[in-house]
């Protein structure tokens, strides 16, 4: 067993890091595709946390894994719809950059 195998904390720290990277990417990247990828990163960070809780807390053994599976399914649907929207907007605006999508302002 490796150094970290027996502890919950390293998984949660990794999950937090991944979530922060995803959040930063979502707020900072201008490209719509990159933003979608950042969303996936955040979702997977949450998944990691859920799996880790499921593995280390006996009362949550079943719930953690099934919750993660549910999130994966939702994430797949989200990615599909999100990409479709991005492509639709791209066809209209001829740009992938979200800061030029300001029609809602009017």
Partner 1 sequence: MMPMAEGVQIGLLPGYAPLLLALPLAGFAFTAAVGRRLGKRAHLVPLVAIAAVWLIAMSLALPALTGGLGEGGASLPLFSWIASGDLRFDLGLHVDALTGALLLVVTTVGALVHLYSVGYMAHDDSYWRFFAYLNLFMFSMLLLVLADNLLVIFAAWELVGLSSYLLIGFWYTKRAPGLAAKKAFITNRVGDVGFALGLMGLVAVFGTLDIPTILAGIEGGALAGPAATVIALLVFCGAVGKSAQFPLHVWLPDAMEGPTPVSALIHAATMVNAGVYLVARMSPLFAASHEAMLVVAAIGIFTAIFAASIAFTQTDIKRVLAFSTLSQLGYMFAALGVGAWVPAIFHLITHGFFKGLLFLGSGSVIHAVEGEQEMPKMGGLAPKIPLTYATMLVGTVAIAGLPPLAGFWSKDEILGEAFKFGFAWVWLVGMIVAGMTAFYMFRLMGMTFWGKSRVPEGVHVHESPWTMTLPLVVLAVPSIAIGFLLGYPFADGLLVHGLEPVFHAASAALGHEHEAWTLFGIDGLLMLASVTVAAIGTAIGVRLFRSDHAELLGRVTARLAPLYRGSRGRWFFDDLNDLVFVRFGGRLASALWWFDRRVVDGAVNGVGALASGSGRGLRQIQTGRVQNYALGIAVGLIAMATIFLVTAR
Backbone angles phi, psi at 96, to 5 degrees: -90, 0
CB of 65: closest distance to partner 1 in angstroms?
26
The DSSP secondary-structure symbol of 94 reads S
Pick between residue 26 and residue 56 the one whose CB is nearest to partner 1: 26
What count of other Cβ atoms lies within 10 Å of the Cβ of residue 43?
21
Pick between residue 26 and residue 90 the one whose CB is nearest to partner 1: 26
Pick between residue 90 and residue 101 the one whose CB is nearest to partner 1: 101
Q: Can you give the binding site for partner 1, defined by CB under 8 A?
A: 23, 26-28, 30, 35, 98-99, 101-106
Sign of CA dihedral 29, 32, 33, 39: positive
């Amino acid at each position: 067993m490796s150094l970290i195998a027996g502890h919950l904390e390293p998984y949660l720290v990794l999950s937090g890091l991944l979530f922060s990277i995803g959040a930063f990417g979502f707020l900072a990247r201008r490209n719509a595709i990159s933003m979608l990828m950042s969303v996936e990163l955040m979702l997977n960070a949450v998944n990691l946390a859920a799996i880790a809780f499921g593995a280390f807390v006996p009362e949550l053994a079943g719930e953690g894994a099934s919750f993660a599976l549910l999130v994966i399914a939702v994430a797949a649907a989200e990615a599909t719809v999100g990409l479709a929207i991005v492509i639709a907007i791209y066809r209209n605006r001829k740009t992938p950059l979200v800061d030029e999508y300001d029609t809602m302002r009017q």
